């Protein structure tokens, strides 16, 4: 998925809206536990998928961790991309 964010605050706002839509819950039920700048070691944005090849280059972006009902979700942004996983 392609997304253009230019700050950790924008990344957090996008992540909250996205997760609320995915879970079918109000955004007010989601807490931003962490947000900040990140530098990923390659184009996988720190979330490599098995069998995939990634460009070996530093990728600047943002990391956001959200909390919903005791469960954590992590979003990584960089190079116009966003990736999400549950922790």
Q: pLDDT tens per residue, the chain (87 residues)?
A: 678 899 999 999 999 999 999 999 999 999 999 999 999 999 999 999 999 999 999 999 999 999 999 999 999 999 999 999 999
Structure tokens at 28: 């007010």
* Domain residue spans of the chain: 8-86
- DSSP letters, 12-51, are HHHHHHHHHHHHTS-GGG-EEEEEEEEEESSTTTT---TT
pTM of the shown model: 0.92
């Amino acid at each position: 998925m392609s997304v253009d964010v230019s700050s950790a605050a924008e990344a957090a706002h996008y992540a909250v809206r996205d997760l609320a839509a995915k879970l079918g819950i109000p955004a007010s039920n989601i807490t931003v536990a962490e947000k900040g700048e990140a530098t990923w070691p390659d184009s996988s944005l720190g979330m490599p998928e098995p069998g995939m090849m990634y460009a070996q280059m530093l990728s600047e972006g943002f990391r956001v961790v959200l909390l919903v009902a005791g469960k954590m979700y992590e979003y990584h942004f960089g190079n116009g991309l966003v990736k999400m996983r549950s922790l």
